Amino acid sequence: MSPERLERINAMLDQRQPDLTVCMEGVHKNHNLAAVVRTADAVGVSDVHAVWKNETMRVSGGSAAGSQNWLDVHNYTNTKDAIDTLKQQGMQVLVTNLSASAVDFREIDYTQPTAIILGQEKFGASQQALDMADQDIIIPMVGMVQSLNVSVACSVVLYEAQRQRQAAGMYQQPRISQQRRQRILFEGGHPIFAKACQRKGLPYPEIDQDGQIVASEQWWQQMQMTQDAWQNIDNE
C-alpha cells in the first residue's frame, strides 16, 4: 500500500460516524440503492442497514460499487429485526413521514446516536416502521409535489446531520474502533490478500503504521508466498 493511499484511507476513517446510520426499508430501485450508499459514504456513515422485501435484491454495482467497499451493509428480512437492532445500539429512530406528529427534520438533534428509516419508493415507510420509530420527520416543501425522491431525501437529512456534527466537533476526533480500522486498512489496502484470507479461512494480519502487513512466517506460507516476494511486488 502506497503512503498516499494509506494517508487517504486513514483520513477517511478518522471522520467516520459509527452512531449515524440509515435503514432502507424495501427500497428496490438500483439507482436509489446506489445513491443512498454513496451519500452515506460521503458524509462519513460507516454502516447502512437494509430490509429486503424481495430476497433477490441486494446493494450491488452501479455508483455504489466503490462506496460499498468502505462501509458495512447489514441485511434483514423484516423491519422489526432491523429497528430492534438499531434501538439496541442506543439509536434514536427517525422516519420520514407526513403526519400530524411530524417535525421539521432540522429540529432534530443529530449529535445523538441516530438512525434514519427510508421507506419504499412508492408507498413510503411501513406501518411497522411508523409504529416503532421514535419520531416522524418531514422535509418542508412549498411546491406542488409533496415528496422527494428517496435518495434525495436521504441526502438532505444526512447533510443536516453532518452540519450539526461538524459544528459539535464530532468529525475532529477519530471515533471508529481500532479493530475496525485494522480490518478496513487490510481490505482496502491489500484487497488481493483480503480475498485470499476469506477464501482460505485465515485471520487478517495486523497492518502497521506504514500500511505494511505484519504476519507470522506460517501465515505467509499459507499464502504460498514469502514476505520478501510480496514486498518486491508491492514496491514495483
* Strands lying side by side in the sheet with 135-138: 72-76, 45-51, 17-25, 114-118, 92-96, 135-138, 103-104
Distances (CA, A) of 166 to 13, 43, 162, 180, 183: 15, 10, 6, 22, 26
Q: What's the rounded Cα separation, in Å, for the pair 153 and 234?
A: 43
Closest alpha carbon to 165 in 108, 118, 116: 108
Q: What's the rounded Cα separation, in Å, for the pair 25 and 182?
A: 30
Degrees, nearest 5: CA angle 152-108-44:
55
H helix runs in the chain, sequence order: 3-14, 30-42, 64-68, 79-88, 127-132, 150-167, 178-189, 191-200, 217-222, 227-234
> Is 96 labelled as part of a ligand binding site?
yes
> Is 139 labelled as part of a ligand binding site?
yes
Annotation: binding site: 96, 139, 148
Annotation: binding site for S-adenosyl-L-methionine: 96, 139, 148
